[in-house]
Amino acid sequence: MESTIRRIQINTLHLLSNNDCLSEIDPQYMEIKQSFDANLLNKYLFPYELELKESLSTFWNNENFLLQPSFGLSLEQDRELTFNQFKKLMELATKHFGLIDLERNPKKIAVFTQGYRFQNPSVTTLMGVHFSLFGASIVFLGSEEQRKKYTEKVEKLEIIGCFSLTELGHGSNVQSIETIAEYDHDKEEFIINSPTITSQKYFIGGSAKNATHTIIMAQLKVSGKMEGVHAFVARIRNDDGSLVKGVDIRDCGVKMALNGVDNGRIMFKDLHIPRDQLLNRFGGVNKAGIYTSPINPANKRFANTIGALVLGRYIVSIGSVAFNSVGLTTAIRYSFSRKQFQGSDPKFEKQLISYSSHRKRLIPHLANTYATHFSNNYLLDLLSEKEKKEKEIHILASALKAYSSWSTRDCLQECREACGGQGFLSENLIGNFKSETEIYTTFEGDNILLYQQVAKFMLSESRKNPPTDYQQPSNEQKQRTDRNYIRSFDFLLEALNSRLNQTIQYVTEKLSDSVSEGSAIMDAWNDNGTYIVRLGVAYTEKTILDKFIAAVNNYPDENTRNALKLLVSLYVLNIIDRDNWFLKYQFISPQQSESISIQILELCKEIVPYSISLTDALGFDHQRLGPIAGDWISRNKF
Active site residues: 444
CA angle 613, 619, 621 (to 5 degrees): 85
**φ/ψ bin of 320: left (φ > 0), alpha (ψ from -120 to 50), beta (otherwise):** alpha
Enumerate residues 6+ apart whose C-beta is below 8 A from 348. Answer: 24, 26, 27, 28, 342
Q: What is the DSSP letter of 468?
A: P
Q: What Cα–Cα distance (Å) separates residue 547 from each residue in 50, 380, 395, 550, 594?
A: 22, 12, 15, 5, 28
What is the spatial distance between Cα 156 and Cα 168, in angstroms, rounded to a whole number? 32
Torsion (CA) 217, 218, 219, 221 in degrees, nearest 10: -120
Enumerate residues 6+ apart whose C-beta is below 8 A from 370. Answer: 548, 564, 567, 571, 614
Exposure pattern of 502-531 as b/e (b: 16+ CB <10 Å)?
A: bbbbbbbebbeebeeeebeeeebbeebeee
How many CB atoms lie under 10 A from the CB of residue 344?
Answer: 8
Could you check whether the bond before residue 297 is cis, i.e. omega within 30 degrees of 0?
yes
431 is in an annotated binding site: no
Enumerate residues 6+ apart whose C-beta is below 8 A from 433. Answer: 121, 323, 326, 327, 412
151 is in an annotated binding site: no
Among 267, 215, 262, 261, smallest CA distance to 245 is for: 267
- Amino acid present at 635: R
Q: Return binding residues for FAD.
A: 166, 205
Annotated binding site: 166, 205
